[in-house]
Structure 1
């Protein structure tokens, strides 16, 4: 069956709503992000190890919940309501932290927020796939990611410009504003524009027929999907703590300016993430997924090494531009590669959760490792360790991962039929 045969007719209204939703979710999808570490470090005198430990609880919950929540996204038709509820919960847990900035309160808020936040990316990807179909999904995923990063840059610019006058409170104000915008955008997506079977990865001739493998068997039976999961874990192990480490380093060396420097780092990265994600969406079908993904590994390994050459704020913020290359490409290509390898299974979102679980293991392990390295060996040792992990992941990906675009590799679930 051709891609054209499984592509719904264009729906400009639905796609405009997806555009605004991708933009508005930029400040909600990951909660307070790196600002939380800076807030706890500078406003409440937490040390790096305590911050890493408190945030690891939410990370662990996110790890174990991704596959079950992916199954939920596959099963539930009320995807708009699911996304709206997630926005409300993540925002509420972020606003609780200033009221109770204590270890167990922060840890509990992180756990609840992680459960809600974990549903956002797969739900948005599912809605997008259900609206545009497989033929246009790579372009749509790239557009979603580019708009997400554009929104993130715009919001961080507002924080950068207003933090000297408003203080830390602006971070929480922006959470409320973007949450309200996200809820409005969700209501603008027409419910009847989403093909709920395509949204879970089913093809028209397989909808409602035959036995489908479980999400974990979908992952374990596919060598390419396993390689993608394991190398992605190494990427996230190297990438996860880097922005927080840079922000902490700048906050400690420039007291009172931590929020502004964190915003500057985020803006630097986001300005590159927008064109990187757009490039991935525009060229992934023509160039293939593999070369673009490899560029992300190279940028990450180089970034970790360059952080050790100077402590000057201009240098650290400049190197942060490389974060835009890696994160922009990875964010745009992740759902596309999973969709390539799960076509016909009906488990697109659950497989995103299963692969994301493996990826999250890397991020969680790195939080503890980096906290230990910073306390005992310093920031330079931590950055070099993360750079080495990125280089190892890129080498494995280069050697073992096949190209997944249509015509290069038969999707795993179709091989099994």
Structure 2
């Protein structure tokens, strides 16, 4: 079995577990623990803040990891343990917080660890195509889990997502451990000379990341993108409920449509990024989002709104492929790629966290149509920032020698 096939399996099983239980947790707490919306919302916010603060440190941990396969397995194990711990704890606030913070830590660690693992197996030259395949299998895993949850809920009830998430995490652990040790090369993963001793590291100081203007521009653009994108689907579902429609059923269908769209988009994006660069992908992703916002503002028929989720699949699918490629381009050889990816993910997370607050507020102020139009503003701003972001594919790699502030040694 080729290393690329191992990566496909890992991404398939980790697709649905990276983001945690999310809305499934809120539904289960309300059904099994009789939690109020206010109490559930407070817990979800606390878990979200914890995860947000963990992005940067998680990337730094991965950058210094000597055994990324074990780190990947540990991240999946944390998600598995956190998921299974919650089943008997519907009434215990502290236990819920501990279990979900553990699962969130695993999920946050998973993305940079998987990026490093991919780079160490295929190398940077083949990273764009492999990242496209990774994301395609990732979305396929999400669709597979969603179908299983939909079918299993009839027999297992509200706890179905926990068992499906646990099974997916267990499958991910087996897939990681099944990957041969010799497939990964740590020096290849960082862009260092492979014929040098393993203990020789060319690691730039943290200042090289903090002073990188293009990384900062990318983080701000992605924060604006997520500010517009994060709550848009929830607004669509809420407007359907307000109109007397079955918002829950349509929401499930929209999620599956978006994820199915992301599969071919990710494969296409990996190919385009390899041939034509990354900036084009980011531009298309950010320009599609305000189009989706305008479409959702003026279309209320739930059937035609499916087209809006196709647009969601296009924009989100492109972002998922392009962002790790740009970060790798801008930091290659520095030994800080995953630290930078964690910092950029923090920017995305801040935008996503504020999206619900902003979305709820603009509905109150401007009504449903005005809310979607308001969310188009940060989406357009994200497109404007990406327009000023230079193409990263031709960025020179970091020099092998030590720079000012650079660390060395094993």
Matched residue, 2:205 = 214
CA separation in 2, counterparts of 1:304 and 1:265? Answer: 15
2:77 aligned with 1:88? yes
Matched residue, 2:173 = 183
CA separation in 2, counterparts of 1:255 and 1:97? Answer: 32
TM-score normalised by L of structure 2: 0.86
Deviation, structure 1 residue 404: 0.8
Mean Cα displacement is larger for which, 55-64 or 389-398?
A: 55-64
Q: Deviations over 1:112-157 (max 9, x none)?
A: 3322211101111111100011110111111100110112122223
Mean Cα displacement is larger for which, 352-361 or 184-193?
A: 352-361
Mean Cα displacement is larger for which, 173-182 or 365-374?
A: 365-374
Pick one of 115, 119, 130 that aligns with 1:125: 115
Is contact 2:333-2:398 (8 Å) kept? Answer: no
Is contact 2:294-2:376 (8 Å) kept? Answer: yes
CA separation in 2, counterparts of 1:238 and 1:223? Answer: 23
Q: Deviations over 1:176-207 (max 9, x none)?
A: 22122111111111112111122234344787
2:332 aligned with 1:343? yes
How many residue pairs match? The answer is 400
CA separation in 1, counterparts of 2:156 and 2:79? Answer: 23
Matched residue, 1:9 = none
Structure 1 residues 197 and 139, CA gap change in structure 2 (3 angstroms) = same
TM-score normalised by L of structure 1: 0.85
Structure 1 residues 104 and 209, CA gap change in structure 2 (3 angstroms) = closer
Pick one of 121, 134, 138 that aligns with 2:124: 134
2:297 aligned with 1:308? yes
CA separation in 2, counterparts of 1:40 and 1:313? Answer: 28
Secondary structure of 1:145's match?
Answer: helix
Secondary structure of 1:84's match?
Answer: helix
Pick one of 39, 53, 71 that aligns with 2:60: 71
Secondary structure of 1:168's match?
Answer: helix
Matched residue, 1:8 = none
List gaps (5 residues or longer) in structure 1.
Answer: 1-11
Matched residue, 1:367 = 356
Mean Cα displacement is larger for which, 193-202 or 153-162?
A: 153-162
Matched residue, 2:406 = none
Pick one of 12, 17, 20 that aligns with 1:31: 20
Is contact 1:276-1:328 (8 Å) kept? Answer: yes
Structure 1 residues 329 and 157, CA gap change in structure 2 (3 angstroms) = same
List gaps (5 residues or longer) in structure 2.
Answer: 404-410
For the aligned residues, what is the CA RMSD?
3.0
Structure 1 residues 257 and 242, CA gap change in structure 2 (3 angstroms) = closer
2:395 aligned with 1:404? no
Deviation, structure 1 residue 274: 0.4
Deviation, structure 1 residue 253: 6.2
Matched residue, 1:228 = 218
2:140 aligned with 1:150? yes
2:344 aligned with 1:355? yes
CA separation in 1, counterparts of 2:84 and 2:213? Answer: 42
CA separation in 2, counterparts of 1:405 and 1:94? Answer: 39
Is contact 2:29-2:90 (8 Å) kept? Answer: no
